[in-house]
Every structure is written in structure tokens, then in C-alpha cells.
Chains A and B, each alone.
Chain A
């Protein structure tokens, strides 16, 4: 068995090596695939805070992914058409600057996660799953029927937004940026899991009564975790929108939420790098199976079923053995 830490390092290096090799051999499509992996992994890392650490099975994280995407779409749309977002009571203009867009995406999705969490965390178990799913769909149907930003057709952004000091239109530079964000969020996520907050949250997942006995409020811990988790997934949404230069209601679709959970399961629940491996595997499968058959989703479904029924612990679990101290 390999120590999980070394495995994580190898995963991170592999995710860096593949696009660098593609850059050297001039294959921009592979760089784009690697960028997609990194962005989807980021969304999965966000969800994993709620799901892996907090035990909150949210089937509505596409809501935050979509909100982040539309934060980018709406701001950049106003900037490219030179129309202000709002004129009264004060002037708000669109922007093409990534840091500003990221900040807005994080704030908007954190706010939405806080509001949804406030309502749905009153319940547990299967209620929580259904309610997060329903609220996620609410955003989906709202974007479809709201005509101002493209409705069902979505919004196209013609030029990728800028980041100071980088040429974001160059695939390898944009990948580097996304990779940096992913690395920072992974460090943040690891620190959070080891902090007093993270320990209390994990304890609330394992035994809520004991957590209450020592005077901690499990609801608050979960609400906090859900909010941070939503914010990270929102950031991933903004990056995905910039990768595609396009946002549409499908970002809000509940299949998206399902796929985020799939990344976590394929990689291993509660593992820091689980979503990174899962997202990588998902994209590789999509690429290989998609080349074999138009109906590749059948194979994906069968594989997923096999992993759930027979191979618990995911890919990282298969290589590094059962996690120490995990329930």
C-alpha cells in the first residue's frame, strides 16, 4: 500500500505533467481537457467539504456552479456590450477582470448556499437530498424562463476575461491559472479539515449528540461548511464559464450535481484528492468510451454501479487502503 500523501503528490504532478507535455508537443485540445479536469475537480473539492467532511449529501451543488458561471456571464456580457448592469440607485458596470468576477462569483454562491442551507439543514437524510435537488432545479427553471440573459439559449462571451500579468487566451497560461487556484483551494481545504472547525464538523457527522454535549451547535457548523462548499463550487463555475466562453442553464442541471458526486465516489469519499482523481477518471472515460460508442453513458452507468456495489473506497482507497480514523 502506498501512503496517501505520496499518492496525492503523484496525482498533482500528473495533472501538471500531461498539459505540459501537450504544450511541448503542441496539442492544445489536451490542455483544454486537463483544464476541464482541474475545474471540475475544484467543484468536486468544494462539494467534498460538505459531503465528505460534513456528511451532507447535497444533490443541488449545480446551483452554485451555475451561479458562479452566470456571475461571469452577466458581468462579461455587460462589459462586452458596454451597457451598465444597473444605473439606479448607483452605477454598476460589467467587467472583464477575472479577480473581480471570481470575487462576485464566490460571494453570490456563498450567499445562495447560506440561504439554501438555512432552509434545508433543518432536515436530514433523504429529505436533505430531495430539498437540495429541488432548490437546484429552481435555479435551472428560473434561468430557462428568464429571457434577459439568453434564457434557454445561454450567453456567449466572445473574448476570455483577463487576469493581470497573464495572457488568458493562451491555453497553457489559462491552465496554469486554474491549476494554481485548485492547488490553493486544496491547501485551504486540507487546513480546514485539520482545524478545530473541521474536526468539530467531522465529529458532528459521526455523532451529533456528543458534539451537542460539548456545547457545539451542529447546525451552525454544517451551515458554515455548506456555505464555504457552495462558494468553492461557485468559483469553479466562473472558471468553467471562462473556459467555454459560454454559459447556459445546463450548468444548473441536476445531472451536473450528480456528476460532482460521481467524481467524489470514483475517487473516494472524504479523501482530499478524491475529486481530483474522480474528475480525471471521468474525463478520460468520457474521452475513451465516447470514442467507442455514441451511447457511452451506458458503460459509465454500469461502471458506476459496479463501483458503488462492489468497490467502496474509490480509486484512492484501492491504492492506499482504508483511511485511518474515518468512520
Chain B
């Protein structure tokens, strides 16, 4: 095992974590502001990826694909909020789980009906294909590096939006006392639609970015959704900062675990057994991390008690 390989895996983990952050940030915002648990968030991720693959395939432009992903996911989010989610604010979590589970069925089968069961492919744009040599002689794919930079930029933008802008102030006010800001004359239902569309756009954007690395297929959002839940549980519900720390932690733990555990077990076992035990254990690692955080901080790292 060389140190270069390790650094490459750290970068992969960072990239994975940042994409998880885009998912988790939307989920945690939606929960924090509206008190809704949205299982269909993974479907919005999928909508973004399909929109990007469809438009990029038709026009040949990756940038147009990204724009389409943002627009399609935000639009799908706004429609879902207005038609379904709005009726769930006063309901208990069980109803929310079921209604959003029903939305997953509709989104997944609807996409299968439109695009078929075969995966689509979204090509990495020509300007970002190939590898770059980082200081220290590490060859790293340019596209993944670009994703890291974009992810960091979006994260910074989101922090700025929440902390510094008028909309951010309203969102935070909505989190702490929704009746009061309604009384102060803020159109609360428009704010909710906006937050939901924003969360959806973030999910769709990350779906499109990841879609160029993996294949674009029905159900692609669900594994990411569950990881985003783990991120939120670790970070604390409603906290954007928690989502960021949690996402990076989960991204690094998962990627490095898959890389290091088989190597570590290799010291005490024969190679084939080490690979199977190591990879099986690595698949459980983030859940063990989540359990450990729960033991010491049941409301997550940055959660309010």
C-alpha cells in the first residue's frame, strides 16, 4: 500500500462526502423548517440525473444538462410540495413516511415508463476528462477534482445563503418559530415551497454530477438517501453544519474502510479471507459509526437537545 494510493482514496472519500452533503443539506433543511421527513428525496436526485442525461444526450452539452437537472429537480420539488407535502404538515411522521414512500413508487415507475429499464450514460464533458497530476505526483481524474471544487463552492454558497441573505433569515426564523414569522407577514406557504424546491435542486444537482461517474438508472437515489439519513443522524437534524461534518465523516469512513480494512485483515489472514471479511465489515462501518455517535450524543453532533 503506497501513500499515494491512500491520498487518492482520501480525495475519493472527500468527493463522496461532498455529494452526500448536497443530499443531506436539502433533507435537513426540509426537516428543520417544515418538520417533514421526505423519503422521496432520493427520487429528486434521480430526476436530476435523468434530466441531465437526457438533455446532455440530446444537445451534447454537459453544462445544459446541469442546468436542466437543477430546473427539473426544483420544478419536481415545487410540484410535489404544492400537491402532496403541503397536506402533511399537520400529520404525524407515519403519514409522512407513507405518503413519501408512495411518491417513490410513482417517481421510480414513472421514470422506468419514460426512459425504460436500461441505465443511461452521462459522459464526462471533454474539458474535464482525463487526469491531472497533483503535487506529489498523484494522478487524479480531473472530473472528480472538479466535483470536489464544485461541492465546496455550493456548500460555501449555501452557508452564505442561510447566514447572510434575507431568505436565509426567513428560513432560520421559520425553523425556530413558524407562527411568529407568519404573523410578521411572511408568506409561509411560499417560503415552504421555496425551501422544498431548493432542497430538491441540491439533490438533483448532485444526482447529475454523480451520474457522470456512475450509471443513471431507476432506484439510484435510494442508497444515497439512506446514507444521507445516516449523515443527518450523525450531524443532528436541522443543522447544516452538522450535515457538512457528518457527510465528510461518512464519505471518508466508507471509502477508507473499503480500502483499508481488507489490507488490515491481510496481516492476520490469507488474502481471499481477508478480502471477504474486510469488505463485509467495511459495508457496516458507517452504521457502526452512527451507533457510536448515538451512544454518546443521541441528538447528533450538532443537534439541539
A binds B: yes
Chain B residues, CB < 8 A from A254: 222, 226
Instruction: Give A60-103 as 1s and 0s: 1 = Cβ < 8 Å from B's Cβ atoms.
Output: 00000000000000000000000000000000000000000000
Q: Which residues from A are CB-within-8-Å of B37?
A: 126, 129-130
A134 contacts B233, CB within 8 Å? yes
A134-B229 in contact (CB<8A): yes
In angstroms, Cα B283 to Cα A254, docked, is 16
Closest residue of A by beta carbon distance from B272: A147
Contact of A122 among B101, B109, B298 (CB under 8 A): B298
- Residues from chain B with a CB closer than 8 A to the CB of A142 are 280, 283-284
Q: Tell me, yes or no, whether B179 is within 8 Å of chain A by CB.
A: no
Give bound CA distance, A68 to B230, whole Å: 25
For B75, what are the chain A residues with a Cβ–Cβ distance below 8 Å?
none
Q: Assess the A309–B298 pair: CB atoms within 8 A.
A: no
Contact (Cβ within 8 A) B226 A133: yes
Smallest CB gap from A136: residue in B: B226
Contact of A119 among B99, B112, B282, B294 (CB under 8 A): B294
Which of B101, B106, B110, B113 touches A261 (beta carbons < 8 Å)?
Answer: B101
The stretch of B87-95, B152-160, B198-206 in contact with A is B87-95
Our pick among A141, A146, A304 for the contact of B101 (Cβ within 8 Å) is A304
Q: Does B93 lie within 8 Å of A146, measured CB to CB?
A: no
Q: Using known A-B contacts A130-B232, A265-B98, determine if residue A309 contacts B105 with beta carbons closer than 8 Å.
A: no
Question: For the complex, what is the distance from the CA of A302 to the CA of B93, rounded to whole Å?
Answer: 19
Pick from A119, A120, A141: contact of B283, CB below 8 A.
A141
On whether the beta carbons of A305 and B283 are closer than 8 Å, the reply is no
Cβ of B233: which chain A residues have Cβ within 8 Å of it?
Answer: 127, 130-131, 134
Q: Within 8 Å of chain B (Cβ to Cβ): is A262? A: yes
Cα A296 to Cα B291 in complex, Å, equals: 38
| Interface presence of B31 (CB below 8 A) | yes
B298 touches A302 (CB 8 A): no
Query: A308 contacts which chain B residues (CB < 8 A)?
Result: 95, 98-99, 102
CB distance from A58 to the nearest CB of B (A): 10
Q: A133-B226, A295-B109 are in contact. Are A146 and B276 (CB under 8 A)?
A: yes
Closest B residue by C-beta to A305: B102
Please give the number of chain B residues whose Cβ is less than 8 angstroms from any Cβ of chain A in the complex.
41
Residue numbers in B under 8 Å from A224 (CB-CB): none
Count A-side interface residues using an 8 Å CB cutoff: 43
Contact A125 B280 (CB under 8 A): no
B202 to chain A, nearest CB (A): 18
Q: Is A137 an interface residue when CB atoms closer than 8 A count as contact?
A: yes
A264 CA to B226 CA, complexed, in Å: 23
Report if A300 contacts B (CB, 8 A).
yes
Contacts of B283 in A (CB 8 A): 138, 141-142, 144-145
B74 to chain A, nearest CB (A): 21
Tell me which of B94, B106, B299 contacts A57 (CB under 8 A).
B94
Contact call A300/B105, Cβ cutoff below 8 A? yes
Contacts of B70 on A, CB cut-off 8 Å?
none
Interchain CA distance A221-B36 in the complex, whole Å: 27
* Cross-chain contact B290 with A126 (CB below 8 angstroms): no
A135 within 8 A of B: yes
The distance in angstroms between the C-alpha atoms of A304 and B109, with both chains bound, is 14
Complex Cα distance A129/B291, Å? 14
List chain A residues, Cβ under 8 A from B97: 57, 59, 129, 258, 261
Q: Is the CB of B276 within 8 A of A148?
A: yes
* B residues in contact with A298, CB < 8 Å: 105-106, 109-110, 113
- Residues of chain B within 8 A of A119, CB atoms compared: 291, 294-295
B253 at the interface (CB under 8 A from A): no
* Complex interface: chain A residues within 8 A of B279 (CB): 145
**Binary interface encoding of chain B residues 239-274 relative to chain A, with 1 for a CB under 8 A from any of its CBs, else 0:** 000000000000000000000000000000000000
* Residue of B98, B230, B284 touching A262 (CB-CB under 8 A): B98
Q: Given contacts A126-B31, A138-B284, is CB(A301)–CB(B102) below 8 Å? A: yes
Q: Is A269 an interface residue (CB 8 A)?
A: yes
Assuming the contacts A126-B237, A127-B237, A141-B284, asked whether A134 and B98 have C-beta atoms less than 8 A apart, the reply is no
Bitwise, A288-305 to B at CB < 8 A (1) or not (0) is 000000011110111011
CB under 8 Å from chain A, chain B span 82-129: 84, 87, 93-95, 97-99, 101-106, 108-110, 112-113
* A261→B39 CA distance, assembly (Å): 14
A298 to B109, CA, bound (A): 6
Q: Across the interface, which residues of B come within 8 angstroms of A122, CB to CB?
A: 294, 298
Report A-chain residues with C-beta under 8 Å of the C-beta of B276: 145-148
Q: Closest A residue to B282 by CB, please name it.
A: A145
Task: Report the bound CA distance from A147 to B282 in whole Å.
Answer: 14
- Chain B residues near A123: list those with CB within 8 A: 294, 298-299
CB pair B294–A309 under 8 Å, yes or no, is no
A126-B37, A145-B279 known; A131+B294 contact, CB < 8 A: yes
B84, A305: Cβ atoms under 8 Å? yes
Given contacts A130-B233, A134-B287, 13 further A-B contacts (CB under 8 A): A120-B294, A126-B37, A127-B237, A129-B93, A137-B287, A138-B287, A145-B276, A145-B282, A261-B98, A301-B102, A301-B105, A302-B102, A304-B98
Can you give 11 A-B contacts (C-beta < 8 A)?
A: A51-B94, A57-B94, A123-B294, A131-B290, A134-B226, A134-B229, A141-B283, A142-B283, A261-B97, A295-B110, A301-B105
Which residues of B line the A interface, CB within 8 A? 31, 37, 84, 87, 93-95, 97-99, 101-106, 108-110, 112-113, 222, 226, 229-230, 232-233, 237, 276, 279-280, 282-284, 287, 290-291, 294-295, 298-299
